Structure 1
Amino acid sequence: MDNMFCFQCEQTAGGKACTKSGVCGKKPDVSNSQDDLTCALIGLARASEGKNPGRAADELMMQGLFTTVTNVSFDCDSIKCLKSLVNKEKDKLGGAENFSSGSLWGGNEDIVSLRSTLLLGLRGMAAYAWHAYVLGKEDSEVTGWLYKGMRAIGQDHSVEEWLGLLMEFGEVNLKCMALLDAANTSAYGNPVPVKVTTNVEKGPFIVVSGHDLLDLKQLLEQTEGKGINIYTHSEMLPAHGYPMLKKYSHLKGNFGTAWQNQQKEFENVPGAFLFTTNCLMPPKASYSDRVFTTAVVAYPGLKHIPEGTGGQKDFSPVISKALDLGGWDQDMNFTGINGGSVLTTGFAHGTVLGVADKVIDAVKAGAIKHFFLVGGCDGARPGRNYYTEFVQKSPEDTVILTLACGKFRFNDLDIGEIGGLPRIMDMGQCNDAYSAIKVALALADAFKCGVNELPLTLVLSWYEQKAVCILLTLLALGVRNIYIGPSIPAFFSSNVLQVLVEKFALKPISTPDEDLKAILG
């Protein structure tokens, strides 16, 4: 097929949909194969109703949904192979009809909008569930809801029923984020504040991108004592705060900025790159020979690192490539987009709640007037300088909590401290929205008020499907007055957007000056 339909990410063509080729680089055959895989997963969900689908089916449900997240897989063959496995597992359960790919994005505009919102949220939650699963953590309610949600995608519902499903999903996704938080902290310890350099030392090195901490841990183990330094990239930055990862002396710093800058920042770099989850962009010829993928990430022509026995992976090809390239022959100095060379991270809920008394005292004394959670996805579309300006213009008596890769717009800024605490506190990856929720609930409890009564405003940027599931969780918790940008999702119809505005006071961003004035008065 020469045509496709995809409107799941923020940079979709014309703000409506990619129909000829994905702005992300996804081709029509890949997009259509992902739709076919999605429909096969609906068939698997149907076949499993009233049954125990089993571990193999659970893994395929998580991996299949994860594979369809933006910037994960560009490889048609691997997607078709996964679909085949899904259909075989469905047949073992007695078989069921797959949903029609023609019906996936077709029908009444508002119903398509609500169906798509749930599907995209499920894709994001499946990614979080998979990260927890590889660390041995699973929640039957979370896994079960992936099946329930996919069955719902293939059914007819009223608008009210769809809205009810979205709120129920949001509640379950909170449990999923809690599950992943428990998986990461039990494996690697509670994050602690740490300063991370953006510079790169001379000699061989590997840059690790994505979200999967287990892949990073295994690579650190396999490179220890081999004269290879390891650097994080984009969403992997928070790894530096985990005690069981930061103990490795060759975990040196963070290379580059957010994911969308990789085609420029990776150009002719003499190091190896490992992509563990979404964030991959089609690599340029100048560095494609040094890019490796693993887990569900795939791109034609790139070397893939498969999972071996017991979940172990052999990263020898990545290590060999880094040694062959040799790295730079001198230390290299790099900066963030605002010129800073030091980033901070590690301010997860354990750290922030550990100094909650200081925070509460600062609020009561008037030293802290307002909290902003400025976070979410970064992206290439113009308009995201809004978030940099918002942070720069925020008053000195306000605190900026941040998470996910959107922070690379401003996380190299030094905007000072309040009461010994930095005004910018990085809470971690996108899934660490759980930390922000825990802190907000704790503050509400301390001040004996509701979350919406706190001097707290969420200013979010979205790009892909993990942002969708986080937004639905926040709405399910009743959080109001969330500012969202840089554009409104194309899958929100005008009527659905109006419902969200009326019910939750969801606010599209305008300008930093206007929004700060509206928030602070």
Structure 2
Amino acid sequence: MFCYQCEQTAKGEACTVLGVCGKKPDVAALQDLLIYALVGLSQVALEGRRVGVSDKGVNVFTQQATFATLTNVDFDPSRFVAWINECVKHREALKAKVKASGGNAEFSGGPATFQPASGLADLVKQGEEVAITTYPAPDADALSLKHTLLFGLKGVAAYADHAEILGQEDEKVYAFVHEGLAAMLDPKLAVPDLLSLVLKCGEINLRAMELLDAGNTGRYGHPVPTKVPLGAKKGKAILVSGHDLVDMELILQQSEGKGIYVYTHGEMLPTHGYPGLKKYPHFYGHYGTAWQNQGKEFPQFPGAILMTTNCIQKPAETYMDHIFTTGLVGWPGVRHIADKDFTPVIEKALKLPGFTEDSNGRSVMVGFAHNTVLGVAGQIIEAVKNKQIRHFFLVGGCDGAKASRNYYTEFVEKAPKDTVVLTLACGKFKFFDKDLGDIGGIPRLLDVGQCNDAYSAIQIAAALAKAFGIGINDLPLSMILSWYEQKAVAILLTLLYLGVKDIRLGPSLPAFVTPNVLDALVKNFDLKPITSAEEDLKAILG
């Protein structure tokens, strides 16, 4: 086993015995084998596009299967066996279409002719033989960039899959995912070629996030400032975690009028701000914090739990019988809802005790996406000109279990009172319930949304830069980012593609980035590792 795609990889180097996330060696090998099979499918897809063939079924499958290998999505080996076999079926069917259109459907060896073994043990062995460490590269730096590209593609696939579910897609995104995957086994690509592909991955990810924003806002309206209770309401309960707004809508529709209150967990918190979702009277509040605290928080939840996208951890026996998965999420032994009929979740919630009394806890505000913030852009610009607002900080990204992530809490607490903090993704849970006050009616803590709402933050920054007549890098804005998995990698690549400089990244730098690649990022983009809250604030503000 060799996996180092997440920030918490063992010893900051790689997981080689068991994944820190709970991934077992057999699943790691099957994921590598699925990627290998997808490389073969992508090689055929590239030839298909050359002769005018683009198959939507292949395009959507490629996104979903790539997303399935992202950290904390699917841990069920049986599902990866099915993915691998389906991939080969898609590949062979696509070859026939390519041949019929005059393309070259003859491939000599490699992933485009790979045939999966029949048994699990043999599939695992095949996966071990095509691990990501075996990708051809002229040097360590080229291999590092191939892995950076691969992990960025996993993030792109996640956002593009969410968008496609909402009816938003772009052939340009599909084409690049195939181009990027095919590049994994191209021995001719050197550092300059791969650096270009890595930055293009950032460009394509921007498009994927744009599509997802259009899908979310087109279906549910633009988020509006909304107060979300952190307490509980007496009654039966369902907890929804993950990111998928369609799943949230379906659970609200199907549970309506049944005496059940629906709560969010993790990155579902921002969904309370969407008019199309907040209209449901039984959509009540938020329970718990970030993904890594499931083991402490889920056993205390007295209702059914639904995991909609990535971020699942090994369920404890205490709640194994009332946690469910849907979409691409999977865990061995956990009931999976494939058809989006959430009756089993609802029935389980009705059997469980629910909350026995009201709990009037604190509340937090959500709903400060680009439409809301830009609606008061004039007020913000005046506050900056009048020196009421000295600086903006975007403090967001992934949360995690490392104690070093307390840096982000300290940074926000110590940020001067004439500064504004924008936040997004689950990194916000280090400080999301803190009352920072306001500046002339503008809250000092603005929740922009989920991780994909980095698109909102980019739109806000671009609009403010235009209003001031300066570049984004000249704004009184600093990005203090935390990363954990591959969607964060994709977002970082987007920021680099846009030329954003002076980003501070932590709590540690990616293990898959070699010293030479890091040196290039520092020289070209002034990328910095975080130090301490005091030192970084002093360096930024002077």
The TM-score bracket by the shorter chain reads: over 0.9
Q: RMSD in angstroms over aligned alpha carbons?
A: 1.2
Identical positions, percent: 55
1:151 and 2:182 are equivalent in the alignment? yes
2:310 aligned with 1:278, yes or no? yes
Q: For structure 2, which runs of at least 5 residues remain unmatched after alignment?
A: 96-104, 113-126
1:495 aligns to what?
A: 516
Counterpart contact for 2:395–2:423, Cα < 8 Å: yes
1:161 aligned onto 2:193: yes
Of 95, 98, 116, which aligns to 2:111? 98
- Give distance in 2, aligned partners of 1:177 and 1:423: 25
Q: How does 1:123-202 map to 2 (within 5 A)?
A: 123-156=154-187, 157-202=189-234
Report if aligned partners of 1:501, 1:507 keep a CA contact under 8 Å in 2: yes
Residue 483 of structure 1 aligns to which amino acid in structure 2?
Answer: R
Match of 1:249 in 2: 281
Q: Deviations over 1:23-45 (max 9, x none)?
A: 10000000100000001000000
Equivalent residue, structure 1, for 2:124: none
Match of 1:258 in 2: 290
Q: TM-score, normalised by structure 1?
A: 0.96
Counterpart residue number, 2:352: 325
Q: Does 92-101 or 152-161 show the bigger shift?
A: 92-101
- SS at 1:105 equivalent: helix
The alpha-carbon deviation at position 332 of structure 1 amounts to 3.5
Q: Deviations over 1:401-442 (max 9, x none)?
A: 000000000010001101101100000000000001001111
User: For 1:210-252, what per-residue CA distance to the aligned partner results, in whole angstroms no more than 9, with x for missing partners?
Assistant: 0100000011000111000000100011100000000001110
Amino acid at match of 2:443: P
SS in 2 for 1:282: coil
Q: Does 1:62 align with 2:53?
A: no
Given residue 322 of structure 2, which amino acid in structure 1 is its aligned partner?
Answer: R
Q: Which residue of 1 aligns with 2:118?
A: none
Structure 1 residue 103: Cα displacement: 5.7
Q: Provide the secondary structure at the position in 1 that maps to 2:432.
A: coil
Is the CA contact 2:33–2:130 (under 8 Å) kept in the aligned structure 1? Answer: no
| Match of residue 84 from structure 1 | 85
| Equivalent position amino acid for 1:133 in 2 | E
- The alignment covers a number of residue pairs equal to 507
Question: Quick check: 2:55–2:94 contact (8 Å CA) kept in 1?
Answer: no
Equivalent residues of 2:228, 2:286 under 8 A apart: yes
Task: Tell me the CA shift for residue 197 of structure 1.
Answer: 1.0
Query: Per the alignment, in what secondary structure is the counterpart of residue 61 of structure 1?
Result: helix
CA drift at 1:269: 2.6
Q: 1:105 offset after TM fit, Å? A: 1.8
> Normalising to structure 2: TM-score of the pair?
0.92
What does the per-residue CA deviation read over 1:243-269, in whole Å, with 9 as the maximum and x for residues that have no partner?
A: 000000111011100010010011243
Return the offset for 1:104. 2.1
| C-alpha distance in 1 between matches for 2:166 and 2:195 | 33
AA aligned to 2:325 is T
Q: Which amino acid aligns with 1:239?
A: T
Q: Deviations over 1:272-321 (max 9, x none)?
A: 110000010000001111110000100000010013xxxxx200000000
Find out whether 1:8 has 2:5 as its counterpart.
Answer: yes
Counterpart CA distance in 2 for 1:145 and 1:345 is 34
Counting only pairs closer than 5 Å after superposition, residues 384-395 of structure 1 correspond to structure 2 as 384-395=405-416
Aligned twin of 2:539: 518
State the Cα distance separating 1:195 from its structure 2 match. 1.1
Aligned position for 1:443: 464
Tell me which residue corresponds to 2:506: 485
Q: How does 1:280-295 map to 2 (within 5 A)?
A: 280-295=312-327
* Residue correspondence of structure 1 range 291-440 to structure 2 within 5 A: 291-307=323-339, 313-332=340-359, 341-440=362-461
CA deviation vs aligned residue, 1:356-378 (integer Å, no higher than 9, x gap)? 00000000000000000000000
1:65-98 Cα deviation digits (max 9, x unpaired): 1100100000000011011101111011226531
In structure 2, the residue corresponding to 1:110 is in which secondary structure? helix
